[in-house]
Amino acid sequence: MKSRIHYTKPSITDLEVGYATDAARHGWGDRCYEYINRFEELFKQHLGAKYAIATSSCTGALHMGLAALGVGPGDEVILADTNWIASAAPITYLGAKPVFVDILQGTWCIDPALVESAITPRTKAIIAVHLYGNLCEMDKLAAIGAKCGIPVIEDAAEAIGSIYRGKRAGTIGKFGAFSFHGTKTLTTGEGGMFVTNDDAFYEQVLTLSNHGRARGQIKQFWPDRVGFKYKMSNVQAAIGCGQMERVEELIARKREIFAYYRRHLECLPGVSMNSESEDMIIGAWMPTAVFETQTGVSREALQAAFAAADIDARVFFHPLSSLPMFEAQRGNFFAWDIPGRAINLPSFHDMTQLQQARVVDVLQSCLEKAS
């Protein structure tokens, strides 16, 4: 009997378990931040970033960064309509308005030309989300931001391992935010990271991250402003330290899985996958198959076929503006069109080629039935 194929699960070894056990047994008192500090150091070394702050989630990292930028009521923040709500939610926490623009057909990331046309006097920031590990056109976005005096933020939650023209995702904008949710390439169960290369901005966010207590404040329990509590736990960070010692292995395995899918799917008529150019490397967190309209293959047909084959199917993100809490933006054509003919593919680290072949077979059968 064939076993169920899950779409994702973490790669945890005795290394991570050992560190987590040590943190649970001994990581208290004077050692309560030991693994957190170590994890931050390892992560910024990997990225080549100057500063890193471990957080309880990527959402928290975005919230603190946006708050430090002064985003507030009446302000607008531009981002792609195709995203998970975690990219938009922190904007609303601050009383600002998310402005959704369409995506590029090839990368499924934000369209820079539409960003520029969406800028108003109320625009406070631009969020570039590297969807599924694909990369936004950061040079174009940075040029727009520089011309208009608007910071560009990188939501790199899904982009560990992605490299844009020699720079790791998350290190190019004003700040970057990462996720270590259990589904991600590198995990701490839940968790995130704020990164920046800006000295003064780092100090602002560091203060916010500790309930508003400035690093140089000598009074005990004296906050200088109202801040946040998005700190990662020492036990989570201990798992993260183990993952960081294996980070290149974890990224390489994701790329191997993606390469297998690409070899076996690029020959199918009307099927495309995550886009990668010569000067960019995608971390391939979530390999995704998109079917051209003329194939007749729908999201619902794909879900049904995967369910019948006992394989988890994860749908392409719905456009944020299709959700009930936002105003519909049906003019964002690709954001509304692509999800109806796409599917995320299983890609956990210890997936076998036999399991991947089962996934490919399902996609092939969907094409045959639709033709």
Q: For the residues of 206-260, what is the DSSP string, one character each?
A: HHHHBTT--TT--STT--SS---B-BPPHHHHHHHHHHHHTHHHHHHHHHHHHHH
Sequence-distant (≥ 6) Cβ neighbours of residue 153 within 8 angstroms: 62, 65, 66, 125, 126, 127, 128, 173, 174, 175, 176, 177
pLDDT of 142 over the 70 cut: yes
Q: What whole-number distance in Å separates Cα of residue 264 and Cα of residue 345?
A: 13
- Judge whether 101 and 80 are in contact, CB under 8 Å: yes
Query: What pLDDT is stored for residue 2 in this prediction?
Result: 78
What whole-number percentage of the chain has pLDDT above 70?
100
- Judge whether 51 and 252 are in contact, CB under 8 Å: no
Query: What pLDDT is stored for residue 313 in this prediction?
Result: 87
Q: What is the mean pLDDT of the chain?
A: 97
pLDDT tens-place string over residues 112-133: 999 999 999 999 999 999 999 9
The fold adopted by the segment(s) 248-370 is Aspartate Aminotransferase, domain 1 (3.90.1150)
Segments of the chain assigned to CATH 3.90.1150.10: 248-370
Query: What pLDDT is stored for residue 68 in this prediction?
Result: 98
Query: What pLDDT is stored for residue 335 in this prediction?
Result: 98
Sequence-distant (≥ 6) Cβ neighbours of residue 272 within 8 angstroms: 289, 290, 292
Segments of the chain assigned to CATH 3.40.640.10: 14-245
pLDDT tens-place string over residues 8-23: 999 999 999 999 999 9
Q: What are 270's two structure tokens?
A: 């009307």
Query: In CATH, what class is 14-245?
Result: alpha beta
Taking the whole predicted model, whether its pTM rises above 0.75 is answered as yes
pLDDT of 1 over the 80 cut: no
Mean of pLDDT values over 279-295: 96
- Judge whether 260 and 267 are in contact, CB under 8 Å: no
At 110 the three-state DSSP class reads strand
pLDDT of 278 over the 90 cut: no
Query: What pLDDT is stored for residue 216 in this prediction?
Result: 87
Q: What are 72's two structure tokens?
A: 């507030």
- Judge whether 309 and 362 are in contact, CB under 8 Å: yes
**The dihedral sign for the CA sequence 46, 48, 54, 55:** negative
pLDDT of 150 over the 80 cut: yes
pLDDT of 177 over the 70 cut: yes
Buried-exposed string 82-93: b where 16+ CB fall within 10 A, e elsewhere: bbbebbbebbee
Query: What pLDDT is stored for residue 242 in this prediction?
Result: 98
pLDDT-derived band at 62 (thresholds 50, 70, 90) equals very high
